[in-house]
C-alpha cells in the first residue's frame, strides 16, 4: 500500500518534471522562433522601406517631367491647358446605349464585380 503510493508519487513527480522541462524547452523554441520571425519582419520592413524610397525617387515630379519632355514627340504629349479642363456639370448628357441588350462594357463591369478571383497569400522569405 505504502510502496504503491510512493511509486505513484515518484512517477507523478517524474512525469511532472518531464512535462515541466518539455514545456520550458518548447517555450525556448517558441522564443527563438519569435526572434527569428522578428528578424525576418525587420528585414522585410527594411526592404519595404528601401522600395518606398525607390518609388518616391521614381515618382519625383522633376523626373516625370523630364521623361514627359523626352518622349513628348513620340507619345504626342502636350502640357495641359486651362481651357481643356471641364467640370462634370459642363459635360453634355450621356447618350443612352443604342442596344441595351448588347452592352459589352456593361456586361464586363457586372461580371467583374460579382467575384474577384484574385486572392492574396502571405509570403515567406526563404531562409538565408
Partner 1 sequence: MKKAFLKGLMGRSKPQSLTLSSSRKARNEQAAARILLVMAGVVLVYAIIAGRLIYYGFSDPKTGSIHRLADRSTSATRPELVDRNGETLAMDIKMASLFAEPHIIVDADEAIELLSTVLPDIEFKSVHKKLTSKAKFVWLKRELTPKQQSRILALGIPGIGFRTENRRFYPGGPTAAHILGQVNVDNVGISGIEKYVDDNGLADLHAAGFARKRELEPVKLAVDLRVQHFIRDALSEAMKRYKAVAAAGIVLNAHTGEIVGMSSLPDYNPNEKTDLRKEKDKFNRISGGVFEMGSTFKAFTTAMALDSGKVSLKSRFDARKPIRIGRFRINDFHGKKRILSVPEVFIYSSNIGTAKMADVVGIDGHQEFLTRIGLLSRLEGFELPEVARPTQPKVWKKVNSITISYGHGISTTPLQTAAAAAALVNGGMLIPPTLFPRTRDEAQRLGKQVVSSATSDKMRYLMRLNVLKGSGKRANVEGFRVGGKTGTAEKVVNGRYSRAKRFNAFLSAFPVDDPQYVVLVIVDEPKPEEGKYYATAGMNAAPTVARIVERSAPLLGVDPTFEPAANAILSSY
Q: Which is nearer to partner 1, 85 or 118 (CB)?
A: 85
The least CB distance from residue 81 to partner 1, in Å, is 8
Sign of the Cα pseudo-torsion (58, 63, 67, 70, in order)? negative
Q: Which is closer to partner 1, CB of 4 or CB of 111? A: 4
Residues interacting with partner 1, by CB under 8 A?
A: 1-2, 31, 34-35, 38-39, 42, 46-47, 49-50, 52-53, 56-57, 59-62, 65, 79-83, 85, 87, 128
Task: Report the alpha-carbon distance of residue 30 to residue 24 in Å, rounded.
Answer: 10
Nearest distance, CB of residue 48 and partner 1, angstroms: 11
Amino acid at each position: 500500500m505504502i510502496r504503491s503510493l510512493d511509486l505513484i508519487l515518484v512517477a507523478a513527480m517524474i512525469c511532472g518534471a518531464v512535462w515541466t522541462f518539455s514545456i520550458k524547452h518548447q517555450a525556448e523554441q517558441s522564443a527563438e522562433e519569435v526572434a527569428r520571425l522578428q528578424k525576418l519582419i525587420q528585414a522585410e520592413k527594411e526592404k519595404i522601406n528601401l522600395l518606398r524610397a525607390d518609388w518616391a525617387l521614381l515618382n519625383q515630379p522633376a523626373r516625370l517631367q523630364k521623361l514627359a519632355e523626352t518622349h513628348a514627340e513620340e507619345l504626342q504629349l502636350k502640357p495641359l491647358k486651362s481651357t481643356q479642363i471641364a467640370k462634370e456639370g459642363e459635360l453634355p448628357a450621356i447618350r443612352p446605349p443604342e442596344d441595351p441588350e448588347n452592352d459589352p462594357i456593361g456586361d464586363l463591369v457586372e461580371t467583374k464585380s460579382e467575384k474577384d478571383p484574385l486572392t492574396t497569400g502571405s509570403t515567406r522569405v526563404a531562409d538565408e
